[in-house]
Structure 1
Amino acid sequence: MGASQSKPDGDKVFYNETPIQFSQEVIDHLQESAGSPGTSPERQSTLDAHIRARINAELGRLREEEKLVQEQIEAALEKENLSREREGPDRDEAEGGATNSLSIQGALEEVQRKVDRFYAKRDISGYLSVNESSQKLIECYRSHQATPLDCWREVGAFKSVVAMEEKKYISSLQQ
Structure 2
Amino acid sequence: MGVSQSKSNSGEIVFRSETPVQFSPDVVEQLSERQASTIPTPERQSTLDEHIRTRIQDEVKQLRKAEEEVQEEIRVALEKENLDREKAMAGQASEEGRAGAGSVKSSAALLGDLEEIRSKIDRFQIRKNLASYPGLKASQDALVSCYKSHATSSLDCWMEVVNFKNSVAQLEKVRVIGQN
State the TM-score bracket (shorter-chain normalisation).
0.3 to 0.5
State the structure with bigger RCO (CA 8 A, min sep 6), 1 or 2. 1
TM-score normalised per structure 1 = 0.46
Larger radius of gyration: 2
